[in-house]
Structure 1
């Protein structure tokens, strides 16, 4: 029985998952069932509907997408990725602000994949987790944008500098002022190193902070009311890292280089 293609693709998560899976490559029924963690009785009726509506073709024992389905899926992928992003932690996204992100990156926020949320223990609110610091210190290149002063920054930056890590930091005016008060000697010594660059940003902050390394991205968004949130988005996925790197570069390109504080 023929159905509206819109109904077929949108109204069934199982059918969407089958189509997305076959967009990667042709697969057998057993592969589809196992990868989607479904039983034959639950997934085969959905595959038959896709076949009946010319979206899936069975060939040499495997299933593949039709040419029409390829076009639909490639255009639908950003939509599905967005649902997956927000569906993983819906309460978090409802309470946090993405409106102030640069528009071109806001539209592509679904490029953040395979992420987790990390909420610090209230008793260690102003400390960075050891595992996080360890991962940052392993990187040969670190990019940091921060709209606030974190007590762990001076020690972390010094460790990175001592390791010869290539460091680029974008700080807001108020954050730089805080460094001037408590850490002016350390930051000026830091600026003398060849592997470090610090920039001053005076525009609107769309995020509290973003850290990008060779293998990881960390981001903190503001709450919807503009107040600070301590929850971190962390991802090791290459797509997430690329997105976060573009966010950092956006802030860096809107900043002024600092030679001395």
Structure 2
């Protein structure tokens, strides 16, 4: 019976979407049709199957989850969100190297379900940081993990530092060494600002490149070969931003300050 109930929820997108929608509270037939963007004739069978399984109740024109249905959907919510995340951009996620994502956050990648994948155009694919910052509004703070050699980064970020934007900048170790060798003076000048703080990850990991603004985020997860393939994940919803901030804080926790202030 237990596996049958789980199958009822998981093996049908319509049943799954209906239960997720009803988890927000009792809904009328008209509200369900509008929210799921489906003709009621296509929803009759999923509704019947959920009623037969004791997962939803109907009273007149209102539908709601049963107590069992509410418990099931609450327990399955993280898994359902994970399914939504990976199924919506399956060709992208199946080729991502996620080894640098800590286990406690990897289990919650369903929180990225509302993110979208962008393939950068030819004129911006080699400057992903510049592309993001030119297309988002930053008023208070920037949190950045740099894992790609970026000659433009010191100049671009200096413009934000001069606007009194707080900048927390974490470097992947080998990326910092290469950039410091080529642009040491520019990096030192940037780090001299009181509102700029540099950190370097001490562990031998290849973290994704992250740019967190006030209301938007981009993450570059490298492919299975550890390479940048000009695709990035864009997010602006609260759940994704919270996840991204926790990932940034994790990397900051395994980093050392490059200059004490």
Aligned to 1:52: 52
Identify which range, 114-123 or 127-136, moves more after superposition: 127-136
| Structure 2: stretches of 5+ with no match in the other structure | none
Specify the SS of the correspondent of 1:101. coil
2:108 corresponds to 1:108: yes
Indicate how the Cα distance of structure 1 residues 182 and 137 shifts in structure 2: closer, same or farther if over 3 A, else same.
farther
Indicate how the Cα distance of structure 1 residues 131 and 181 shifts in structure 2: closer, same or farther if over 3 A, else same.
closer
User: Are the aligned partners of 2:132 and 2:218 in contact in 1 as well (CA < 8 Å)?
Assistant: no
2: distance between equivalents of 1:98 and 1:178? 24
* Pairwise CA distance, 1:133: 1.6
1: distance between equivalents of 2:150 and 2:129? 13
Identify which range, 14-23 or 174-183, moves more after superposition: 174-183
Aligned to 1:217: 217
2:158 corresponds to 1:158: yes
Aligned to 2:175: 175
User: What are the Cα deviations for residues 164-192 of structure 1, in whole angstroms up to 9, with x where unaligned?
Assistant: 11110011232222332333222222222
| Structure 1: stretches of 5+ with no match in the other structure | none
- Residue correspondence of structure 1 range 249-260 to structure 2 within 5 A: 249-259=249-259
Aligned to 1:126: 126
User: What are the Cα deviations for residues 42-63 of structure 1, in whole angstroms up to 9, with x where unaligned?
Assistant: 1022212222322111236311
Aligned to 1:191: 191
Aligned to 2:61: 61
Identify which range, 199-208 or 239-248, moves more after superposition: 199-208
User: Are the aligned partners of 2:147 and 2:206 in contact in 1 as well (CA < 8 Å)?
Assistant: no
> What is the TM-score when the length of structure 2 is the normalising length?
0.91
- Count residues with an aligned counterpart: 258
Q: Please report the RMSD computed on the Cα atoms of aligned residues, expressed in angstroms.
A: 2.0
User: Are the aligned partners of 1:221 and 1:229 in contact in 2 as well (CA < 8 Å)?
Assistant: no
User: Are the aligned partners of 1:235 and 1:241 in contact in 2 as well (CA < 8 Å)?
Assistant: yes
Specify the SS of the correspondent of 1:151. coil
- Residue correspondence of structure 1 range 241-256 to structure 2 within 5 A: 241-256=241-256
Indicate how the Cα distance of structure 1 residues 223 and 130 shifts in structure 2: closer, same or farther if over 3 A, else same.
closer
Specify the SS of the correspondent of 1:24. coil
Specify the SS of the correspondent of 2:148. coil
2:235 corresponds to 1:235: yes
> What is the TM-score when the length of structure 1 is the normalising length?
0.91
User: Are the aligned partners of 2:129 and 2:211 in contact in 1 as well (CA < 8 Å)?
Assistant: no
Identify which range, 246-255 or 58-67, moves more after superposition: 58-67
User: Are the aligned partners of 2:115 and 2:234 in contact in 1 as well (CA < 8 Å)?
Assistant: yes
* Pairwise CA distance, 1:247: 0.9
Aligned to 2:12: 12
Aligned to 1:88: 88
* Pairwise CA distance, 1:152: 2.7
1: distance between equivalents of 2:196 and 2:155? 15
